[in-house]
């Protein structure tokens, strides 16, 4: 009997568009490849630039928690008085001038200053020494305003650039990603952030569930901002933003998973009873000590502690939020020597989230017919 | 099963080739055979780097004992059904390294590797098959591991964006025939793993065939396999 054949099912389509070919070539050539710090070293020298609230609240406890790996060799600030104040608290030597010697002594340069001043400081660093073997850790949103995107070539001169987008690394969101990545709810269709996820931080968090797929279209209405991604995924940012007092829902083909903020033991219990698959804070003696992950009526506790937590300079009421930020920052530092989600979040992604979230939240957003063009613009500028 | 989890109606191989340029066959080889071929190939290449493109010609496949099993009765019958005057002109194995971002063949042609084989005739005797290839995957092929892809555009149609295509996905042992005059390509093997294929190509025996007299086919012509008259025809060995 002669052999029969099964009917072929179309499962893809031809894509020979020169634009897409150009795009993929560009991405292949110009996507910054993250080089990790040499693993043969026990410790790495860190130079900190900046002495503001962010340094005292998050960088000090994060670097203190990782002091067996990162050794801070100095802190420099435009206002030397502030640098000295930090030095008094934590003992980091004050550097009075950003000279070649102090820069050459460092493996990692941390820049946490106002975004508008960043290009000038980077220029000074690059004029002073060769940074091709230095790893830059820079705060979001990297640069201020669209005009400053012209400075992106400065960033390419470093061995690697890590952007401290710590919001997407908040422990509850890392746990949420871990859960949905097991495939328990099937392919992810939509991420909804209710009163949580500020501008570019929210967009970065949303896109982290879609492997940083680019935004194609956005829509703003009284409820919030809706992002449609290149591969059809959706992100909804429900306003107003209320820091931690909100929830994140991930909808997949086969179900949904939630993170819902609880403020005490009673609200945590209510949340655990209400949802089938949920993450919420774990409370002991009115203190949050980690998170509970509930799946199929099974609960897992994830406790968090930080060596540097007592050093966090913030109001008591702000402590929980700042603790999450610091834990997220620790993950960013870890990506310098080990791959994690931050390894894929390079400076182009951070700038993209910054510009897309700002444009889409304004009326001018209607004029942008395809938000992927913002990434192409950034790539073009970086290519210069 | 290959390509899709949904059971699809069956077609005659020739009809499927005409309509889609592709015929997805039922497994002609057992999983034990595929495992044993992989083992033999691994032994053969044990001292080479997995990053090199590894290639075995007909003569190598014969020495390893793989050729005899590939040229099974079922394959002979299947090809004979659609091309009674078939002559062989490719019979080889190759292995494409993972982590590559361009198709291994015609990758730089500006069409992302899409091509129609230039050794084919396109406008002549359109009702007949002239150039076909048979593939057996020796590794599991998923969408990121460089699957073969074909567009069901006939010989007169230009390649256009958004034309639906079929990527042939499937576990090791999956096998299929395609018409080399249709637009097709190898996707880049983005996965961590190498992609292994055994490929045979056929043309009508009355067409010029400058490959069948290559040294790599000589050993096959001298082997016991030529006891089959059909294989003699495939190797273009004239009857005494």
Helices (H), chain A: 18-30, 53-54, 60-65, 80-90, 100-104, 118-128, 152-155, 171-180, 199-208, 265-274, 319-334, 347-360, 372-383
For testing the chain B interface, which of A1, A3, A9, A27 should be mutated: the one with the most B CBs within 10 Å?
A3
Is residue A339's pLDDT more than 90? no
For A12, the closest chain B residue by CA position comes to: B165
What's the pLDDT tens digit per position in A85-115?
999 999 999 999 999 999 999 999 999 999 9
**Distance to chain B for A27, nearest Cα, Å:** 11
CATH number, domain containing residue B130: 2.60.120.620
**Distance to chain A for B27, nearest Cα, Å:** 10
* Best mean pLDDT range from A109-123, A141-155, A280-294: A109-123
Residue B113 lies in a domain: yes
Which member of B15, B78, B161 has the closest CB to residue A16? B161
What's the pLDDT tens digit per position in B98-130?
878 778 887 777 778 898 887 777 666 667 889
What dihedral angle (degrees, nearest 10) is formed by the CA atoms of A348, A350, A352, A357?
A: 180
For residues B162-175, average pLDDT: 92
All residues at 6 or more sequence positions from A294 whose CB lies less than 8 Å from its CB, including other chains: A272, A275, A276, A277, A278, A279, A280, A300
pTM confidence score: 0.61
Comparing CA positions, the residue from A278, A349, A314, A236 lying closest to residue A60 is A314
* Best mean pLDDT range from A59-63, A309-313, A368-372: A59-63
User: How are beta strands A108-111 and A135-138 bridged, if at all?
Assistant: parallel
Structure tokens at A183: 């495939």
Residue B65 lies in a domain: yes
Q: Which pLDDT value is given to residue A135?
A: 92
Q: B74 and A3 in contact by Cβ < 8 A?
A: yes
Residue B101 lies in a domain: yes
Q: B24 and A8 in contact by Cβ < 8 A?
A: yes
Domains and CATH numbers, chain A: 44-166 (3.40.50.720), 168-322 (3.30.360)
Spatial distance between the Cα atoms of A236 and B219, rounded to a whole number of angstroms? 66
Q: Average pLDDT, whole number, for chain B?
A: 86
Query: B35 is in which domain, residue-wise?
Result: 13-234
Q: Which pLDDT value is given to residue B124?
A: 67
Q: A4 and B12 in contact by Cβ < 8 A?
A: yes
The number of domains in chain B is 1
Out of A126-140, B77-91, B224-238, pick the least confident. B224-238
Residue B6 lies in a domain: no
For residues A299-319, average pLDDT: 76
Residue B228 lies in a domain: yes
Q: Which pLDDT value is given to residue A1?
A: 57
Q: Average pLDDT, whole number, for chain A?
A: 87
Q: Which pLDDT value is given to residue A2?
A: 67
Q: Which residues of A touch B77 (CB under 8 A)?
A: 2-3
Number of residues written out for chain A: 384
For testing the chain A interface, which of B161, B174, B177, B185 should be mutated: the one with the most A CBs within 10 Å?
B161
Q: A12 and B166 in contact by Cβ < 8 A?
A: yes
Q: B165 and A7 in contact by Cβ < 8 A?
A: no
- Do residues A235 and A205 make contact, with C-beta atoms less than 8 angstroms apart? no
Is residue B24's pLDDT more than 70? yes
Interface pTM, i.e. ipTM: 0.76
Which member of A8, A16, A21 has the closest CB to residue B22? A8
For B11, the closest chain A residue by CA position comes to: A5
| CA dihedral over B142, B143, B147, B150, signed as positive or negative | positive
Is residue A190's pLDDT more than 90? yes
Q: Which residues of A touch B74 (CB under 8 A)?
A: 3
Number of residues written out for chain B: 240
Q: Which pLDDT value is given to residue B3?
A: 43
Helices (H), B45-117: 58-63, 66-70, 73-82
Out of A34-43, A281-290, B205-214, pick the least confident. A34-43
Beta bridge pairs of residue A247? A194, A260
Residue B119 lies in a domain: yes
């Amino acid at each position: 009997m002669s052999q029969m054949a099964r009917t072929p099912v179309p499962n893809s389509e031809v894509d020979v568009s020169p634009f897409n070919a150009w795009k993929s070539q560009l991405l292949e050539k110009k996507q910054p490849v993250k080089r990790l710090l040499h693993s043969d070293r026990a410790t790495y020298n860190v130079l900190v630039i900046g002495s503001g609230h962010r340094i005292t609240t998050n960088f000090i406890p994060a670097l203190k928690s990782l002091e067996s790996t990162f050794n801070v060799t100095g802190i420099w600030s435009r206002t030397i008085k502030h640098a000295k104040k930090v030095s008094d608290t934590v003992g980091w030597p004050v550097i009075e001038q950003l000279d070649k010697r102090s820069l050459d002594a460092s493996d990692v340069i941390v820049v946490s200053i106002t975004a508008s001043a960043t290009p000038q400081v980077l220029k000074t660093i690059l004029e002073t020494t060769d940074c091709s073997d230095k790893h830059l850790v820079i705060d979001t949103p990297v640069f201020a305003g669209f005009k400053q995107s012209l400075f992106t070539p400065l960033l390419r001169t470093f061995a690697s650039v890590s952007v401290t987008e710590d919001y997407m690394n908040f422990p509850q969101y890392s746990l949420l990603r871990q859960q949905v990545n097991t495939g328990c709810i099937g392919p992810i269709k939509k991420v909804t952030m209710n009163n949580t996820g500020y501008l570019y931080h929210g967009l970065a968090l949303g896109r982290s569930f879609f492997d940083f797929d680019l935004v194609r279209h956005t829509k703003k209405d009284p409820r919030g901002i809706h992002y449609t991604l290149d591969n059809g995924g959706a992100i909804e940012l429900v306003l107003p933003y209320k820091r931690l007092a909100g929830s994140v829902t991930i909808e997949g083909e086969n179900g949904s998973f939630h993170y819902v903020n609880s403020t005490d033991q009673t609200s945590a219990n209510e949340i655990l009873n209400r949802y089938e698959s949920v993450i919420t804070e774990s409370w002991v003696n009115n203190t949050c000590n980690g998170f509970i992950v509930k799946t199929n009526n099974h609960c897992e506790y994830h406790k968090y502690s930080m060596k540097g937590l007592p050093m966090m300079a913030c109001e008591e009421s702000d402590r929980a939020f700042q603790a999450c930020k610091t834990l997220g920052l620790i993950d960013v530092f870890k990506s310098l020597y080990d791959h994690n989600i931050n390894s894929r979040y390079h400076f182009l992604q951070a700038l993209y989230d910054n510009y897309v979230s700002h444009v889409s939240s304004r009326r001018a957003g209607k004029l942008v017919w395809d938000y992927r063009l913002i990434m192409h613009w950034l790539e073009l500028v970086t290519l210069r | 099963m290959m390509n899709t989890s949904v059971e699809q109606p069956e077609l005659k191989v020739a009809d499927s080739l005409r309509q889609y340029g592709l015929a997805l066959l039922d497994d002609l080889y057992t999983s034990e055979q595929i495992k044993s071929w992989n083992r033999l190939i691994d032994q053969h290449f044990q001292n080479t780097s997995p990053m090199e493109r590894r290639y075995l010609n007909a003569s190598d496949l014969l020495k390893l004992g793989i050729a005899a099993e590939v040229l099974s009765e079922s394959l002979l019958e299947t090809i004979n059904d659609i091309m009674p005057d078939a002559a062989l002109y490719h019979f080889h194995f190759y292995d494409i390294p993972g982590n590559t971002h361009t198709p291994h063949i015609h990758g730089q042609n500006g069409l992302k590797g899409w091509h129609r084989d230039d050794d084919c005739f396109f406008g002549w005797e359109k009702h007949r098959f002239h150039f076909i290839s048979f593939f057996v995957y020796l590794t599991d092929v998923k969408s990121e591991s460089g699957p073969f892809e074909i567009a069901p555009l006939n010989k007169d149609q230009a390649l256009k964006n958004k034309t639906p295509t079929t990527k042939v996905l499937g576990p090791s042992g999956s096998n299929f025939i395609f018409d080399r005059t249709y637009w097709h390509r190898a996707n880049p093997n983005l996965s961590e793993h190498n992609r292994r294929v055994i490929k045979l190509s056929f043309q009508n025996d009355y067409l010029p065939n400058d490959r069948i007299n290559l040294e790599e086919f000589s050993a096959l012509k001298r082997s016991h396999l030529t006891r089959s008259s059909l294989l003699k025809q495939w190797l273009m060995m004239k009857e005494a």
